Structure 1
Amino acid sequence: MRVRPHVLLLPALLVFAACSKPADVPPADTQTPSPATTPAPAVTASVAAPAVPATVAAPVATAVPANTEFDPASVPVSTATLPPFPFFKTPEGLTSIFADKEKNASFDREHMIAGGKIVAIEGKVFREGFKLDNPEGRSYSDIEFQRNYENAITALGGVKVSTVQYTDEVNQAFGSRDVVDKHYHGACAGVDCQNDTYLIRQNNKETWIQVSTGAIPLHGYVTVLERQAMTSALSFLSAGDMKKALDADGHVALHINFDTDKATLRPDAGSVIDEIGKLLQSDPSLKLSIEGHTDSTGSADHNRSLSGERAASVRSALVAKGIAADRLSTKGFGPDKPVADNGSESGRAKNRRVELVKMP
């Protein structure tokens, strides 16, 4: 299997704390406190334990049954004291193969496995990678590397949620090996590699962790992702702006936030819906086709269905505001009508859109 040239992450503070629990610290203020789950400051050096030998028994974690639709809420909320994101310190004796600029992304997508399926998770990401077969220093077996992270994650209240590996069958069900690789940062997504996904839930946050080993020479990778919506760098169009675009071009593209891989409108989509409502209220004769579009990640058929459902969600929100349903129609084109190159994240972001098209 080929070694991925870069990707995976993990900054600072918890070196394989398999045998040690995080030190107790005074509670910190949070915006969404949960009982006994207050995040803590960085784990001190005294907490970081040396690598656990591969002979240490693996901790027991609740696995998600295969062939079931995974629900993050099925994972118990952690009551452990969590160190700051991304939790982990460089394992003893290893040196990162990534430059600092390759490790962190304020917002990106990662493919991981939940239950028996590949899922696309978006949010803040840290990636790290190491050469484990190291003739000039400390070497790790794949089992020892995986076990250290499993022990540390379990100590933080995390649960292993993957029940399958990246086999050809699993990859094809998602879209293909190439599609998986676009947002995968591990040793390899194949049968000769080990990829385990974990989830930690606390303070209304989900932290997803994927640990990967494999390839020749042996490498180990870790991806830590705090699930969150992207903070848009673009201001939304006002009703007046939309009218100008419709009058000039007959259509206008809007970027409306939905939950990942769902048709559920996020709370911050409300301002855009309000402006569309104002547009329609200002011109009672205006009729619109609401058309959903996606990037090329994942199955094209799934994306066509998803984009149609998202368009329907926008329509329903407008009808709830008093707009007559017969003034609005919906379509879902999925990845079929890109406006930018799907080879870059900026291009994919432009392709994920909802368009309003003026109807006669």
Structure 2
Amino acid sequence: MRQSRLLIGSTLFLLLLSACKQQDTSPAATAPVETNTPEAMTEKPAAPPAAAAVEAVAPKAETGFSVENIPLSTGTLPPFPFFDIPEGLAGKIKVDKSTVGFARHFFLAGKKMIPVEGRLYHNQMSLIGPDKQREYSTTEFHRNYKDAVLALGGAEISETQFTRPIVDEVGGLREVNQYWRSAPPTSGYEHHSYLIRNADKEYWIHVGTAAARPTGYLVVLEKQAMIRSLGFLDASAMKSALDTEGRVSLHINFDTDKSTLRADSQAVVDEIKKLLDANAGLKLSIEGHTDNTGSADHNRQLSSARASSVLDTLVGLGIDPSRLSSKGFGPDKPVADNADESGREKNRRVELVKL
């Protein structure tokens, strides 16, 4: 009997011990005890899975620069070019030479260079005044112009400095330098770009400095289309040139580095159509040419695309495509010296050649 009691007691003890072990291995028993945790924190859902955490730190996509994102200035702007020379300094460029009726300049916008055309003011000044009584640091020079632009309702559009890839993207230093009027577009110089917009105008501003020989540069450009001062050949004059020379050179405007005809070139294309309509047996080769700036291969492709664009426009106006052909020569057949802008302008042309 005693042995039976001992056996029963041992069995009960083992059962109780097993139950305790099962309780100890439950999540509640094994979880660490947290102290000083606010109640609100304990009610939050569990952390998201690892994939969601990766998504949270993914970099934002580059949105790029857009003129439309720059707020409009609502104030009254002073007369162009808006800004005086800083007190104590003197401009190196004479007043009658500082403004160009129409020109191109490259501006840093976002992380890219953008070519802009229009009326342009430019000047440069030693940051040590002529009497050497007033000297500006590059920081003070930039800050003066930044404050002035912001006071007119403008905005800074780039603090990016020039790098080789940025310059190469628009054709390289050779392409940029032919239009350049500021501190050299290379490393070692400081550049800041600004934009002032109102209801119907854009004013692009470039401030640059050179530290080695303390110099400040200012460019202000009022964006606008060129006012054409040269008349174009009408159908009769084209016919006369083709009869005597076998070819006629036309200046047809395209969008920068594109084959898209500008609206102001439509009148020239209309005259070519009149020429072809009046001379049913006439066949023409439309030949595109460029100056020597930028890559020769790129210019050949561009001139070919532009000649083809003129052909396509004429076909769209009803001209039989069998009467037309097109080709591009790029910089290979210049008619003037490319050393200056006057010569380069003559080389950028479309020729009609009688077949």
Distance of 1:197 and 1:321 partners within structure 2: 43
Contact 1:120 1:261 in 2 (8 A): no
Distance 1:75 1:177, change over 3 A: same
- Structure 1 contact 251–355 (Cα < 8 Å) conserved: yes
**Residue number in structure 1 paired with 2:81:** 86
Cα deviation for residue 224 of structure 1 reads 0.9
Residue type of the alignment partner of 1:251: R
Please name the residue that 2:105 is paired with: 110
1:346 has 2:342 as partner = yes
Structure 1's 68 and 244: CA in aligned 2 closer, same or farther, altered over 3 A? farther
8 Å CA contact 1:187, 1:193 repeated in 2? yes
Structure with greater proportional helix content: 2
Question: Which residue number in structure 2 is paired with residue 186 of structure 1?
Answer: 182
Are 2:73 and 2:153, in contact at CA under 8 Å, matched by a contact in 1?
A: yes
> SS at the partner of 1:118?
strand
Deviation at 1:163? 5.5
1:337 matches 2:333: yes
Superposed CA deviations along residues 128-159 of structure 1, whole A, max 9, x for unmatched, are 11111347132211112112212222333333
How much does 1:350 deviate? Answer: 1.0
Q: The residue matched to 1:174 in structure 2 has which SS?
A: coil
- Correspondence 1:216 to 2:212: yes
**Alignment-derived partner of residue 170 in structure 1:** 166
Deviation, 1:321, is: 1.8
Contact 2:242 2:354 in 1 (8 A): yes
Quick check: 326-335 or 101-110, which moved more? 326-335
**66, 81, 92: which one pairs with 1:97?**
92
CA contact (8 A) 2:138 2:211 kept: no
1:309–1:332 Cα contact (<8 Å) kept: yes
CA pair 94-163 structure 1, distance change in 2 beyond 3 A: closer
Aligned positions of 1:221-300 closer than 5 A: 221-300=217-296
Instruction: Quote the offset at 1:75 in angstroms.
Output: 3.5
Q: CA separation in 2, counterparts of 1:290 and 1:161? A: 41
Query: Partners in 1 of 2:87 and 2:297 — Cα distance?
Result: 46
Report the secondary structure of 2:116's partner residue: strand
Distance 1:356 1:162 in 2: 44
Distance 1:70 1:336, change over 3 A: farther
Determine if contact 2:174/2:294 at 8 Å carries over to the other structure.
no
Any idea what the Cα deviations from partners look like across 1:202-224, whole Å, max 9, x if unmatched? 34332221110114221110011
Report the TM-score, using the length of structure 2 for normalisation. 0.75
| In 1: Cα distance, 2:338 partner to 2:194 partner | 29
Q: Which moved more, 1:185-194 or 1:288-297?
A: 288-297
Distance 1:80-1:307 versus aligned 2 partners, 3 A rule = farther
Q: Equivalents in 1 of 2:290, 2:71: separation in Å?
A: 32
Q: Distance in 2 between matches of 1:265 and 1:205?
A: 23
1:130 matched residue in structure 2:
125
Q: Which moved more, 1:275-284 or 1:168-177?
A: 168-177
For structure 2, list consecutive stretches of 5 or more residues without a partner in the other structure.
Answer: 1-59
Cα distance, 1:107 vs structure 2 = 1.6
Q: Distance in 2 between matches of 1:138 and 1:66?
A: 46
1:307 is matched with 303
In the TM superposition, what whole-angstrom CA distance separates every residue of 1:10-31 from its partner, at most 9, and x where no partner exists? xxxxxxxxxxxxxxxxxxxxxx
Greater relative CO (CA pairs within 8 A, separation 6+): 1
Secondary structure of residue in 1 paired with 2:329:
strand
Which one is further off, 264-273 or 142-151? 264-273
SS of match in other structure, 2:301: helix
Give the direction of change, closer, same or farther, for the CA distance of 1:163–1:308 in structure 2 (3 Å limit). Answer: farther
1:163-207 alpha-carbon deviations (Å, 9 max, x no partner): 532223333333333332221112222211011222223343322
What is the percent sequence identity of the aligned residues?
51
The amino acid across from 1:272 in the alignment is V
| Per-residue deviation, 1:66 | 10
Deviates more, 1:104-113 or 1:156-165: 156-165
The Cα of 1:74 is off from its aligned counterpart by: 4.4
Q: TM-score, normalised by structure 1?
A: 0.74
Q: Once superposed, which parts of structure 1, at least 4 consecutive aligned residues long, lie more than 6 Å away?
A: 65-69
2:142 maps to what in 1? 146
Measure the CA separation in 1 of the matches of 2:61 and 2:180: 21
Partner Cα separation in structure 2 for residue 71 and residue 355 of structure 1: 36
CA contact (8 A) 1:167 1:190 kept: yes
- Cα offset for 1:73? 3.9
Is the contact made by 1:126 and 1:223 (CA closer than 8 Å) also made in structure 2? yes
Secondary structure in 2 matching 1:334: coil
Structure 1 residues 289 and 165, CA, compared in 2 at 3 Å: closer, same or farther? farther
Q: Which amino acid aligns with 1:187?
A: A
